[in-house]
């Protein structure tokens, strides 16, 4: 059974509290936009697309309650209805400024509301129902988009994998960061175990050694990361540590992919230099939270629920810098996997967005120019041969995602 991060029905929204994972699987109610804002800000929900969906549905829950229980506002309150919905959307956008999906969803929903308000038979209830339908459609589309992204990414990787004794099976490295939020250990690892996908947890500092010593034996074919915002030139903001992993992948000759829906691509942002990077509290770096473990407890024994404690892992009064994201330059990215397919580069090294957006959209994109070339290696040094992925492998283009059998998840 697939792990659900979001459970929704009319007038009811629940999210999996990701701060309680992996030791407790607890769903919390999101009754209004303030609940959603707090859940997003505190990282009870993570992932740029999921953040946008939770924000959108939190308003839908409130509106459905007003329609079903309170019978809606008076018919003449059309302008007030539009202003109220817009204000809630604008407030939600402030919860995580780096994640572009949230702002994109808010802009689209504002358009839906405005269009509904201009209909000849408009009243507050028709406007609210138009919003609810649009927000619910976003949830359905998000699930379908995720499935398509997985399929396109798997096919791209298997077509480019190195040929060795492992046959069609390959390994990938993904990035979920060890600190300060330990998302790889707490969240991605939990999801992989839940879905019975073989995986090995490593810390951030182990990635280079892994690529060098196990690149060939484990057939490490690609690094795949997510994204919170992709600029028009391909520069990508993602959780802190992604940039370092891209540098290592380039040195070791391993393909580096970004997996993100089109809503994560911000064509109005020229480059990564224009992306606002959220900085989070110092305490997330110097403290750590988890359940207490009695002495002499075996690895497989259940941990008692309700025993969570927060402890210092640094000397008292230690200062810490805690950016939530970094920006990976486009020149270190080999492809961007979207629900429409994998976006590659032309002969100038510029990403070809027309594949997913069309030429009419691209005409409005700011001029980004050709990317600068980065020489990652000293003169005379070539990428590590054991991690080469230059050998092409034949593929029908219909290879199932399940053939990617192993993920080295950076904790």
C-beta pairs of 81-87 under 8 Å, 24+ apart in sequence: 81/113, 81/117, 81/124, 81/127, 81/128, 82/113, 82/114, 82/117, 82/127, 85/59, 85/109, 85/110, 85/113, 85/127, 85/128, 85/131, 86/110, 86/113
β partners of residue 247: none
Beta bridge partners of 379: none
Q: d(Cα 107, Cα 100) in Å, to the nearest integer?
A: 11
Is residue 207 a contact partner of residue 248, using CB atoms and an 8 Å limit? yes
Q: Which of 228, 266, 326, 334 is catalytic?
A: 228
**Given strand 27-29, what is the order of strands in its sheet?**
6-9, 12-16, 27-29
User: How many angstroms separate the CA atoms of 40 and 51, rounded?
Assistant: 6
Nearest to 390 by CA among 162, 158, 164: 162
How far apart are the C-alpha atoms of 158 and 160, rounded to whole Å? 5
228 is catalytic: yes
Residues recognised as catalytic: 228
């Amino acid at each position: 059974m697939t792990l659900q991060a979001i459970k929704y029905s009319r007038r009811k929204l629940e999210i999996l509290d990701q701060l309680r994972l992996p030791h407790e699987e607890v769903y919390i109610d999101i009754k209004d936009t303030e609940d959603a804002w707090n859940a997003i800000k505190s990282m009870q929900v993570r992932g740029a697309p999921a953040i946008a969906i939770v924000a959108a549905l939190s308003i839908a829950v409130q509106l459905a309650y007003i329609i079903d229980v309170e019978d809606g506002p008076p018919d003449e309150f059309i302008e007030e209805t539009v202003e109220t919905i817009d204000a809630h959307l604008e407030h939600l956008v402030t919860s995580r400024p780096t994640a572009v999906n949230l702002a994109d969803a808010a802009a689209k929903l504002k358009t839906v509301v405005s269009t509904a308000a201009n209909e000849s038979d408009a009243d507050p209830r028709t406007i609210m129902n138009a919003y609810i339908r649009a927000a619910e459609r976003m949830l359905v589309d998000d699930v379908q988009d995720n499935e398509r992204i997985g399929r396109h990414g798997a096919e791209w990787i298997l077509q480019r994998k190195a040929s060795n004794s492992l046959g069609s099976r390959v390994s990938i490295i993904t990035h979920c960061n060890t600190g300060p939020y330990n998302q790889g250990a707490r969240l991605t690892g939990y999801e992989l175990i839940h879905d019975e996908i073989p995986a090995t947890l490593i810390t951030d500092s182990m990635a280079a050694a892994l690529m060098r010593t196990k690149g060939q034996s484990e057939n490490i074919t690609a690094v795949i990361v997510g994204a919170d915002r992709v600029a028009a030139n391909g520069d990508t903001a993602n959780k802190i540590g992604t940039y370092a992993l891209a540098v290592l992948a380039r040195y070791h000759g391993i393909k580096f992919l970004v997996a993100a829906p089109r809503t994560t691509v911000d064509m109005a942002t020229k480059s990564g230099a224009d992306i606002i990077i959220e900085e989070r509290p110092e305490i997330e770096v110097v403290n750590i939270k988890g359940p207490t473990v009695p002495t002499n407890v075996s690895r497989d024994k259940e941990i008692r629920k309700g025993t969570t404690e927060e402890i210092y892992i640094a000397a008292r009064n230690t200062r810490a810098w805690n950016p939530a994201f970094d920006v990976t330059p486009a020149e270190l990215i080999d492809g961007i996997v979207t629900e429409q397919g994998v976006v590659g580069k032309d002969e100038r090294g510029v990403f070809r967005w027309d594949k997913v957006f069309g030429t009419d959209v691209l005409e409005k994109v700011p001029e980004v120019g050709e990317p600068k070339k980065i020489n990652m290696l000293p003169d005379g040094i070539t990428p590590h041969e054991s991690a080469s992925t230059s050998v092409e492998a034949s593929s029908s283009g219909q290879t199932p995602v399940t053939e990617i059998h192993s993920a080295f998840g950076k904790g």
